[in-house]
Structure 1
């Protein structure tokens, strides 16, 4: 009985930790946001959802940020987005 309780507790703790990690907010440096808003690149048409957390396919070209290679950007369906260049996931939709 004690082993079952320990296993259940461990599972709950692990799922809570995973949830906490997935709900963290990324704070993007101001200079990155400024750079992205100043760049002129053509908008790409894409049928998928353009929401934070969605992954862009490799067919959508993303542009690196010279001063900070932790971020990239593109314009999709006329929405300027900041993405993680390694995962291609949208981090922020710039307003």
Structure 2
């Protein structure tokens, strides 16, 4: 009986961890992505260099990088190495790299 409880407890902890990881995934709604793409196209920025940062979802941009607002959208954007990246301003994590 004790072994079954230990196994069940371990399973619950594993599921809790998976749930927490899934909660960190950011999904930009298609409507928001359209608004962001149109705004970025109309408001182009000069590209900057950020040494040591990989431009991929989940990477964190340093505080020295200025994030630019998109009206009525939670996220911010910046152009790094000629790629537009969408950033969560609270965590400064890249949530999408626009192609």
| TM interval, short-chain normalised | 0.7 to 0.9
Q: Deviations over 1:3-59 (max 9, x none)?
A: 423321221221221233345643351112211222122111111111111110011
Contact 1:64 1:85 in 2 (8 A): no
User: Are residue 73 (structure 1) and residue 77 (structure 2) matched?
Assistant: yes
Long gaps (5+) in structure 1: none
C-alpha separation between the residues in 2 aligned to 1:80 and 1:90? Answer: 10
Q: What is the total number of aligned residue pairs between the two structures?
A: 94
Give the match for residue 49 of structure 2: 45
Give the match for residue 82 of structure 1: 86
Q: What TM-score results when the alignment is normalised by the length of structure 2?
A: 0.79
C-alpha root-mean-square deviation of aligned residues, in Å? 1.9
Give the match for residue 16 of structure 1: 18
Post-superposition, which runs of at least 4 consecutive aligned residues in structure 1 deviate over 6 A? none
Between 18-27 and 71-80, report the one with greater CA deviation.
18-27
